[in-house]
């Protein structure tokens, strides 16, 4: 890799200041990703800066002390000293990440596509007055870079691992300008979630399917990586993926079975009741239909511990082709007659352009108006969702209880006990409150208790290890 066209050549006596970046590139209290390519000619100063906004809890990518490695501080101190030697006269790619939510880490530094230097403390980027410097640190000057820098990019979010892999591209690189990114924004703080887009092929000439990068759903739980499910019936459909906080599709063991009267659509079949745009329009186009009087059932099995261990909420998207028609919805424990959430009565709005929450009530006899509603606090590993126009739950001229989509979302957890990690000569010192747990795969939800009391010293082994403290 020899740069994209031309690169910035710095001699250790010069740098580039970005005018007007003092306020625009602060990212105070937010998330941040910085990517670029670099080559070291000579390390002749401690903490030589590759690109920086300042010291303390501002952000900077720089040589680590007097070592032959680089480090990132972005709202928290530098992470583990485990990056490779990059003082070899070759081009290297980096991505520095600050995750304000500290979902998998607080900060991390990718070198040539591999993650290093994880800092588990929750970061808090602060506002600083100076402009951004390329090849120098405005918060601690006379740390000028000696080498080449190319194709820098900054994002006010956490880049997905897939995007980081694209930027490295096996060492061949991809210009920042060519990175496709997501087609719609997603929240900075996102829970583990599984989205099922039902009736995705309700009509072949309709776009009812979602691409992996299409972000859709209720604001606050918007997700990508929806699972497109086709047809009026399905049995033990697998290869269901979950969407994680870093916009990553994670495999699950979930299977889905469903039985319905048929599929229909909220647009394109003479029933134009879909005023949404983009991926949300696709999500709410096709649906499992009931007819009258029939019952639709969707069974979701093998729900992973990442949801069941702390509880999850079930979002049901229900918008039929005509407003003012409805039915009853409930949740059962699959395989039993146990009712987890009793029937609620819901009817579709007409031509809504935004998501409208239908207030759920198990005692009301009126039909709440909304295109989605939520059953909260479930923990079962297998559930059946029923939508019915039978048993007195039919509503409207031609009753209809549609299911466009189902989303399982990890319940918001209360703020946990404090935990901090520090790298020392003796090992990694973990100071924590409550009980310490660890896992090498955070998406699996398989956390194991760690024996020992705080502060606990452990030795670094394997590729990655995550820790959490619980009351």
E strand or H helix that includes residue 163: helix 161-168
> Is 415 a residue whose pLDDT tops 60?
no
- Report the distance separating Cα 186 and Cα 223, nearest Å: 6
- Whether 439 shows a pLDDT value over 80: the answer reads no
User: Would you place residue 425 in the very low, low, confident or very high pLDDT band (cuts 50, 70, 90)?
Assistant: confident
CA dist 239 and 255 (Å) reads 8
**Is the pTM higher than 0.75?**
no
> Which whole number is the average pLDDT over 381-400?
93
How do residues 276-303 score in pLDDT, each as one tens digit?
988 899 999 999 999 879 999 999 999 9
pLDDT class for 246, splitting at 50, 70, 90?
very low
Cβ atoms of 139 and 58 within 8 Å: the answer is yes
User: Would you state the pLDDT for residue 40?
Assistant: 96
The predicted pLDDT at position 171 comes to: 86
Residue 263 Cα distances to 196, 212, 328, 353, 447, angstroms = 15, 23, 18, 22, 40
Question: What percent of the chain stands above pLDDT 90?
Answer: 56
Average pLDDT over residues 76-88: 93
The C-alpha atoms of residue 56 and residue 156 are separated, in whole angstroms, by 19
Structure tokens at 31: 């998330």
Residue 203: band (very low, low, confident or very high) from pLDDT cuts 50, 70, 90: confident
pLDDT in tens, 304-363: 998 998 899 999 999 999 999 999 999 999 988 899 999 999 999 999 888 999 988 888
User: How far, in Å, CA of 169 to CA of 182, rounded?
Assistant: 18
Token pair for 260: 């319905």
Closest listed residue to residue 154, CA positions, set 112, 98, 106: 98
pLDDT in tens, 84-125: 999 999 999 999 999 988 878 899 999 999 999 999 999 999
């Amino acid at each position: 890799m020899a740069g994209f066209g031309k690169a910035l050549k710095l001699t250790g006596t010069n740098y580039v200041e970005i005018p007007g970046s003092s306020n625009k590139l602060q990212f105070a209290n937010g998330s941040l990703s910085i990517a670029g390519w670099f080559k070291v000619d000579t390390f002749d100063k401690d903490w030589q800066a590759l690109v920086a906004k300042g010291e303390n809890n501002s952000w900077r990518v720089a040589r680590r002390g007097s070592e032959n490695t680089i480090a990132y501080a972005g709202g928290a101190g530098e992470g583990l000293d485990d990056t490779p030697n990059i003082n070899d006269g070759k081009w290297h790619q980096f991505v520095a990440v600050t995750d304000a939510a500290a979902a998998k880490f607080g900060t991390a530094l990718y070198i040539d596509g591999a993650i290093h230097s994880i800092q588990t403390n929750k970061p808090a980027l602060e506002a600083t007055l100076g402009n951004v410097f390329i090849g120098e640190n405005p918060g601690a000057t006379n740390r000028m870079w000696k080498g080449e820098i190319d194709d820098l990019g900054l994002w006010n979010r956490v880049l997905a691992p897939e995007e980081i892999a694209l930027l490295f591209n096996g060492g061949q690189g991809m210009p920042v300008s060519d990175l496709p990114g997501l087609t719609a924004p997603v929240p900075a703080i996102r829970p583990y979630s599984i989205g099922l887009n039902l009736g995705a092929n309700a009509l072949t000439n309709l776009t009812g399917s979602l691409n992996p990068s299409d972000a859709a759903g209720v604001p606050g739980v918007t997700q990508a990586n929806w699972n497109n499910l086709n047809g009026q019936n399905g049995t033990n459909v697998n290869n269901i993926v979950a969407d994680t906080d870093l916009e990553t599709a994670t495999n699950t063991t979930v299977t889905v079975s469903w039985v319905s009267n048929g599929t229909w659509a909220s647009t394109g079949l003479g029933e134009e009741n879909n005023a949404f745009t983009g991926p949300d329009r696709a999500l709410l186009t096709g649906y499992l239909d009931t007819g009258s009087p029939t019952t639709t059932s969707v069974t979701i099995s093998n729900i992973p511990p990442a949801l069941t261990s702390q509880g999850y909420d079930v979002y049901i998207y229900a918008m039929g082709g005509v407003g003012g028609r409805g039915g009853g919805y409930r949740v059962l424990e699959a395989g039993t007659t146990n009712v987890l959430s009793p029937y609620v009565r819901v009817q579709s709005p007409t031509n809504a352009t935004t998501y409208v929450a239908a207030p759920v009530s198990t005692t009301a006899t009126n039909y709440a108006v909304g295109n989605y509603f939520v059953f909260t606090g479930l923990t079962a590993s297998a559930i059946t969702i029923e939508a019915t126009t039978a048993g007195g739950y039919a509503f409207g001229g031609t009753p209809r209880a549609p299911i466009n989509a189902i989303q399982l979302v990890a319940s918001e957890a209360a703020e946990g006990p404090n935990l901090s990690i520090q790298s020392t000569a003796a090992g990694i010192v973990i100071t924590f409150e409550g009980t310490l747990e660890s896992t090498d795969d955070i998406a699996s939800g398989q956390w194991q208790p760690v024996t020992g009391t705080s502060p606990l010293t452990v030795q670094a082994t394997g590729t990655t290890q995550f820790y959490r403290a619980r009351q």
